[in-house]
Amino acid sequence: MSSISKSKYNSDRLILVCNDDGIFSPGIRALAEVAKEFGEVAVIAPDRQQSAVGHAITVSDPLRVTPFQINSRMEGQAVNGTPADCVKLGHGNLMKRKPDLVLSGINHGSNAGINILYSGTVSAATEGTILGYPSIAVSCTEFSDSADLSGSQEATRRAIRYVLEQGLPAGITLNVNAPAGPLKGLRWAKQANSRYVEEFEGRVDPRNKPYFWITGRLEILDKGDDLDLNLLKKGYATITPIQYDLTAHIFYRNQGKELE
Ligand code: MN
């Protein structure tokens, strides 16, 4: 990796940066800082918390865009929509030209295992892939706004270098997860089979009506040191190639042409 000098990466490359925690999130600033090492950055992100909206898009309401100061050197655009809306609107309307790379994150909270499916952060990257751009999602396993994102940032650098050097096949998105703190190592990993258990806590409101609040804990269903959730437990960051083609190909191949 170090055989290519940093200056080679500093080009007129244009990088779209999105997330699902909203444009106020410390994670998106941390990601934009890394992105800046590789080119010009356009931050286009939801104007509010949009975690776990998955790949939702807005179809019945207008989308409005507001300039937003990311830090003293960077301005972004806040959108009153979902992460996938932001990427669609970014590439079609809000950027001066098409992006060369789409980055989403750094999410506060793991997007490993089954979280991939619920995640708005991963879906923003997936939308980038659908639109034909190399795309990477990055998440830190710690929810706290004050989490040390240095390891997530270093994992992001490595993933970006990989994509710039090797490219990505059509339809493939890279999903990176990292523990808080310095990077111990970045391992290729598979999505762990997992699910939430004890998902809702029932309570009664002051007007005596029951309500439910999602809680739950993530249960890992497979063992294996090649699985994202297990590697994260051991302190490693993980990089998982994922795809939006949800066809069960092996099952499909075993069927005939017609079901009679
Ligand atoms: Mn989030």
163 Cα–ligand 1 center, Å: 23
Q: Indicate whether 242 pLDDT > 50.
A: yes
26 Cα–ligand 1 center, Å: 11
Per-residue pLDDT of 26-51, as tens digits, reads 999 999 999 999 999 999 999 999 99
139 Cα–ligand 1 center, Å: 8
Q: Indicate whether 74 pLDDT > 80.
A: yes
Per-residue pLDDT of 160-186, as tens digits, reads 999 999 999 999 999 999 999 999 999
Q: Please, which pLDDT band fits residue 71 given cuts at 50, 70 and 90?
A: confident
Query: Residues 132-138: what's their mean pLDDT?
Result: 98
Q: Indicate whether 104 pLDDT > 70.
A: yes
Q: Model's pTM, two decimal places?
A: 0.94
Q: Which CATH superfamily groups domain 3-192+224-253?
A: Survival protein SurE-like phosphatase/nucleotidase (3.40.1210.10)
151 Cα–ligand 1 center, Å: 18
What pLDDT sits at residue 8?
Answer: 55
Cα–Cα dist 84/127, whole Å: 6
> Domain locations in the chain?
3-192+224-253
Hey, which bits of the chain come out as E strands? Answer: 14-18, 40-46, 65-71, 74-79, 101-108, 135-140, 172-178, 186-188, 194-197, 200-204, 210-214, 217-220, 237-243
SS3 assignment, position 252: helix
161 Cα–ligand 1 center, Å: 24
18 Cα–ligand 1 center, Å: 11
252 Cα–ligand 1 center, Å: 34
Residue 248 exposed, middle or buried by CB count within 10 Å (0-12, 13-18, 19+): exposed
